[in-house]
């Protein structure tokens, strides 16, 4: 592996890791604070992609369509929380996975009803479609750099919200001692909806940013959701730091295993091993620690 | 006593209905009933974990699919005897369960769900990467296996074999949950620490339940491969795990027979709706949510409750403390 290829793949890995982080934030916050497992988080990723395609078609400007789609996915998330998630608080894990699995079935089919079964293409916005020489001899797609930047900005924004705002203080308090926050007279219902909508916004944004790299289609969020769960097993649940560490580790590991394994063991065995690699990493972490590397809730 | 015999009567009545399906002389119904029996068997394997061991597994499709793949691959390789192929398919599922179980058992609750789901996805990608077996598209079996030399090509014969195996699985599973082993796994579900304190290592028991569940799912998968004469990674997808879990819940968890009804409800619902619309999932998703949010019991539970309610005027139910003493 040449240095140029290494750097290119490192950039890819970080970019993928940041996308996973945008997904993992919502899952880990919702679990950490509301104690709910949301299998429909992948649907929010998919809905984000579709809403951007649709709003772009209507508005005609990517930079106007993007915020409109984000508002759209926040609304979808808030409605989802009020109608389905709210009655699940305090229920067992089984009820939670089944109801949110039902949501996934609903959304995967709803987008087919609205937009058809044919995958939609989302073009890379004008101005971001070129290449940029990040290293002598390495021409890197500007769009991927833009995604990386967007991921970093979101991470910074999240840090700011969590550390410097009242919402953030409530989130931190809520994930440590939920009962106390409730006892202090905080409108816990509103806080939950806000947390869920925040997670939905990040997941939707991840879908929007990834849209041009994949195609926007029914079920596009499902594999991402499962990888997000792997991130949380690796990083530990309920912790944003864990989500960030887990995302970057998995993003970089996934990218490099895709490039390296077929070279090392040959194409046939390589393709099987590539599919397994992320889960072998998860198994390794599980052997090392049952609760992940940075769990907020030990035991 | 009266209740027990009524429930037995109910079992026999449904068995009679199941046996009578081929009398309709319509391959469509026979094949449909076969499908219910196979999914029902896989759902029973989930119920063993969910309803008795208290393990919410979101990865049973892995063992269902490994059974199907193993049976399919052996058949393609020229092994046609079911008495060889099916046990080997179960063994393959057990081998996967030994590894996946040992790792997943390190976690609990929320993490256990995620880890089983993740490992099942890993098996999905392995299936997808088998290029010589069609990769993403899957592969066909030249013909069904033979059972002790007997052809299973006829849909009615195959249906009765599947039904007999389902009854056998239900019988063995009910013996299992009624045995000391069953008491231990239920005890673990309710209070793991207390169980450990009285000398039953919980890990060993839940691990055994996990592996037994995988063996049953593997058998169901081998039957599935024979039924459709086709295997593809679709059988390993996470939706299948979710479907199996839904079937258990629709039918009542912790009843063994309930999940078979759940499978019937699920598949009938799917079939009826898909006559009207391609988009049946848009109705099924909300139905599943409604079942979870608003109904406390599955179909079997409701049926048993209805029976009890009917019984009450005839024979007064003893007071609860007396009942417990009996």
pLDDT in tens, B56-90: 999 999 999 999 999 999 999 999 999 999 999 99
Cα within 13 Å of Cα(B171), Cβ side: 7
Q: Residue B134, by phi and psi: left (phi above 0), alpha (psi -120 to 50) or beta?
A: left
Residue A232 lies in a domain: no
Residue A261 lies in a domain: no
From the list A95, A104, A283, the residue facing B103 with the nearest CB is A283
Instruction: Report the number of secondary-structure helices (H) and strands (E) in chain B.
Output: 14, 4
Residue A267 lies in a domain: no
Residue A47 lies in a domain: yes
Backbone φ, ψ for residue B22 (5° rounding): -65, -15
Provide, as residue numbers in chain A, all residues whose Cβ is less than 8 Å from the Cβ of B107. Answer: 233, 286, 290-291
Q: A48: distance to nearest CA of chain B, Å?
A: 19
Domain assignment of residue A170, given as a range: 3-128+143-220
Contact B114 A279 (CB under 8 A): no
Residue A283 lies in a domain: no
Six-digit token string for A39: 């299998």
Q: Which of A129-133, A210-214, B148-152, B244-248 has the highest mean pLDDT?
A: B244-248
User: Tokens 């199941």 — which residue?
Assistant: B18
Q: Structure pTM?
A: 0.90
pLDDT of A292: 80
For helices B60-76 and B109-129, angle between their N-to-C axes, nearest 10 degrees: 20
The residue-averaged pLDDT of B20-38 equals 91
- Average pLDDT of chain A, as a whole number: 89
Going through B94-251 in order, the beta strands assigned E by DSSP cover 139-140, 146-147, 150-151, 230-231
Residue A41 lies in a domain: yes
pLDDT in tens, B101-140: 999 988 888 889 999 999 999 999 999 988 889 888 999 9
pLDDT in tens, A221-257: 999 999 999 999 999 887 888 899 999 999 999 999 9
Query: CB neighbours of B322 closer than 8 A, spacing ≥ 6?
Result: none
What is the distance between the alpha carbons of residues A35 and A28, in angstroms, rounded to a whole number?
9
Provide, as residue numbers in chain B, all residues whose Cβ is less than 8 Å from the Cβ of A287. Answer: 103, 106
The strand pair at A138-141 and A131-135 is best described as antiparallel
- Average pLDDT of chain B, as a whole number: 88
Query: Any idea how long chain B is?
Result: 326
The residue-averaged pLDDT of A90-111 equals 93
- Provide the pLDDT confidence category of residue B265 given band limits of 50, 70 and 90: very high
Nearest CA in chain B to A100: B289
The DSSP result for chain A, as a single string, is --HHHHHHHHHHHHHHHHHHHHHHHHHHHHHHHH----TTHHHHHHHHHHHHHHHHHHH--HHHHHHHHHHHHHHHHHHHIIIIIGGGTTS-HHHHHHHHHHHHHHHHHHHHHHH-SSPBP-PPPTTSSSEEEEETTEEEEHHHHHHHHHHHHHHHHHHHHHHHSHHHHHHHHHHH-HHHHHHTT--HHHHHHHHHHHHHHHHHHHHHHHTTTS-B-TTTHHHHHHHHHHHHHHH-TT-HHHHHHHHHHHHHHHHHHHHHHHHHH-HHHHHHHHHHHHHHHHHHHHHH-TT-TT-SS--
ipTM: 0.90
Residue A233 lies in a domain: no
Share of chain B above pLDDT 70, in %: 94
From A262-266, A274-278, B220-224, the region with the lowest mean pLDDT: A262-266
Query: Which of A238 and B183 is assigned the larger pLDDT?
Result: B183
Contact B279 A113 (CB under 8 A): yes
Q: A189: distance to nearest CA of chain B, Å?
A: 18
Residue A227 lies in a domain: no
Q: Which of residues 237-256 of B touch A (CB under 8 A)?
A: 238-239, 242, 245-246, 249, 253
Contact B285 A105 (CB under 8 A): yes
Partners of B38 in beta bridges: none
- Provide the pLDDT confidence category of residue A298 given band limits of 50, 70 and 90: very low
Which DSSP helix (H) or strand (E) runs through B222?
helix B202-228
pLDDT in tens, A127-143: 888 888 877 878 888 99
pLDDT of A251: 95
Number of domains in chain A: 1
Nearest CA in chain A to B246: A98
């Amino acid at each position: 592996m040449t240095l140029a290829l290494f750097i290119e793949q490192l950039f890819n890995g970080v970019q993928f890791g940041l996308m996973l982080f945008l997904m993992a934030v919502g899952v880990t916050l919702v679990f950490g604070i509301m104690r709910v497992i949301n299998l429909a988080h992948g649907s929010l990723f998919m809905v984000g992609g579709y809403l951007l395609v649709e709003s772009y078609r209507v508005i005609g400007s990517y930079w106007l369509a993007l915020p409109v789609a984000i508002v759209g996915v926040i609304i979808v998330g808030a409605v989802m929380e009020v109608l389905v998630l709210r009655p699940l608080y305090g229920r067992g894990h089984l009820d939670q996975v089944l109801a949110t699995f039902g949501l996934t079935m609903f959304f995967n089919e709803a987008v087919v009803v609205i937009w058809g079964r044919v995958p939609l293409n989302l073009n890379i916005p004008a101005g971001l479609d070129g290449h940029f020489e990040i290293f002598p001899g390495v021409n890197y797609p500007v769009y991927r750099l833009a995604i990386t930047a967007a991921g970093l900005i979101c991470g910074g924004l999240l840090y700011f919200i969590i550390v410097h705002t009242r919402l953030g203080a409530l989130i931190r308090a809520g994930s440590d001692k939920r009962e106390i926050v409730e006892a202090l007279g905080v409108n816990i219902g509103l806080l939950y909806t806000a947390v869920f909508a925040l997670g939905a916004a990040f997941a939707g944004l991840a879908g929007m940013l990834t849209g041009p790299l994949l195609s926007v289609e029914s079920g596009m969020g499902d594999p991402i959701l499962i990888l997000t769960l792997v991130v949380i097993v690796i990083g530990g649940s309920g912790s944003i730091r864990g989500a960030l560490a887990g995302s970057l580790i998995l993003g970089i590991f996934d990218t490099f295993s895709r490039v390296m394994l077929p070279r090392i063991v040959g194409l046939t065995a390589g393709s099987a091993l590539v599919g397994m690699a992320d889960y072998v990493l998860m198994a390794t972490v599980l052997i090392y620690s049952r609760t992940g590397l940075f769990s907020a809730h030990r035991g | 006593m009266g209740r027990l015999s009524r429930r037995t009567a109910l079992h026999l009545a449904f068995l009679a209905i199941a046996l009578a399906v081929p009398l309709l002389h319509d391959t469509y119904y026979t094949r449909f009933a076969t499908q219910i029996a196979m999914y029902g068997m896989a759902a029973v394997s989930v119920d063993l974990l969910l309803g008795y061991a208290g393990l919410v597994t979101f990865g049973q499709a892995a063992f269902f699919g490994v059974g199907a793949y193993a049976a399919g691959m052996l058949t393609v390789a020229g092994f046609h005897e079911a008495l060889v192929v099916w046990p080997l398919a179960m063994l393959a599922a057990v081998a996967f369960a030994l590894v996946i179980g040992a790792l997943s058992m390190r976690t609990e609750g929320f993490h256990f769900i995620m880890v089983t789901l993740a490992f099942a996805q890993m098996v999905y990608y392995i299936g997808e990467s088998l290029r010589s077996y069609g990769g993403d598209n899957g592969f066909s079996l030249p013909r069904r296996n033979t059972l002790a030399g007997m052809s299973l090509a006829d849909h009615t014969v195959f249906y009765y074999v599947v039904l007999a195996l389902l009854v056998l699985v239900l019988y063995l599973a009910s013996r299992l949950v009624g045995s000391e082993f069953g008491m231990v796994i239920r005890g673990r579900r309710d209070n793991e620490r207390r169980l450990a304190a009285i000398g039953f290592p919980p890990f060993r028991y839940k691990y055994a339940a996990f592996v037994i569940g995988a063996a049953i799912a593997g058998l169901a998968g081998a039957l599935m491969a024979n039924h459709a004469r086709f295997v593809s990674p679709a059988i390993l997808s996470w939706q299948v795990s979710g479907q199996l879990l839904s079937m258990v819940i629709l039918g009542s968890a912790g009843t063994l027979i309930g999940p078979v009804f759940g499978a019937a409800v699920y598949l009938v619902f799917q079939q009826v709706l898909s006559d009207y619309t391609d988009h049946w999932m848009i109705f099924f998703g909300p139905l599943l949510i409604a079942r979870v949010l608003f109904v406390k019991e599955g179909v079997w539970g409701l049926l048993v409750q209805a029976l009890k309610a009917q019984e009450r005027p005839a024979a007064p139910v003893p007071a609860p403390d007396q009942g417990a003493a009996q």
